[in-house]
Amino acid sequence: MAVALLAWAAGNAAGASDYDESILGDLSGIPAAPTPWSLEAGANALIGSAGTNAAAGTADFDLVSFEVPAGHRLDSITLISYANPDIFAMSFTGLQAGTPWLDSVGFDIAGYWLMGWTHIQTPMAGVDLLPLIQQHANDPAFAIPLPAGVYTMLFEDVDTIINYAVRYNVSAVPEPGSMGLLATLTTVVATFGRRQRRERSHSLLPRYARSADPACCTHRSIAAAESSRNRR
């Protein structure tokens, strides 16, 4: 836990929405009652410890139900740090829509209710977990970023005790008005650019091609003008 906390604190200031097990208490390991957690715009840190102590015969499963507020979206879930006594070992994390946790934990996970899952390990610090979870998604695969709503995640290890720190990055959803304004500005800029190109091209034409007299514009018009004068 201390390693995860130091890794997070090294580059981030603690926020009001951060959840640190060493301060706020152990996350629930009961599928019917995951620990609720409300996210805010910006970076939200989850710092915890989970896993199995075979010698003591105990298992600690971390279940957290986090809420992405209305008008916002979850852009990424970044693994800040991960500590496992076995540096080659991997731990499991799964993502589900809604709460409570509908699957089991440990070796009994079936996976039918999961949006997706992935393994985490020591070399993955700084990696965004959402695309990895999406790679193991049930159909239909979810889209990134995740929209506002409640989701539940499980962190577990069936062999040893792990420490981890994860950052949930939340941002405001762009308002339709701002998107429309951006589209309008893009159109105006593109139109202006085309007009400028046409004017530059026009200025490079020979003088006879830019004449206001239609008879001077093409060989066919010139021939027609001469024929008319001959008839007169």
Q: How far is 148 from 34, CA to CA, in rounded Å?
A: 18
Residue 99 C-alpha from the chain's centroid? 21
- Look at residue 158 in the predicted model and tell me its pLDDT: 96
Report the largest interatomic distance among the alpha carbons of the chain, rounded to a whole angstrom: 117
- How many Cα atoms within 13 Å fall on the side-chain side of residue 72? 19
Average pLDDT of the chain is 82
Summarize pLDDT for 94-117 with one digit per residue, the tens: 999 999 999 999 999 999 999 999
Domain ranges of the chain: 2-172, 176-231
- Look at residue 183 in the predicted model and tell me its pLDDT: 53
Summarize pLDDT for 200-221 with one digit per residue, the tens: 544 443 443 344 444 444 444 4
Q: Please give the backbone phi and psi of residue 205, each rounded to the nearest 5 degrees, phi first.
A: -70, 150
Percent over 70 (pLDDT), the chain: 69
Q: Which is it for strands 62-83 and 42-53: parallel, antiparallel or unpaired?
A: unpaired
pTM of structure: 0.73
| 168: three-class secondary structure by DSSP | strand
Q: Which of 173, 170, 166, 169 is nearest to 64 (CA)?
A: 166
Summarize pLDDT for 136-170 with one digit per residue, the tens: 999 999 999 999 999 999 999 999 999 999 999 99
- Look at residue 202 in the predicted model and tell me its pLDDT: 47
- Helix and strand tally (H, E) in the chain? 5, 9
- Look at residue 175 in the predicted model and tell me its pLDDT: 86
Summarize pLDDT for 62-86 with one digit per residue, the tens: 999 999 999 999 999 999 999 999 9
- How many Cα atoms within 13 Å fall on the side-chain side of residue 186? 6
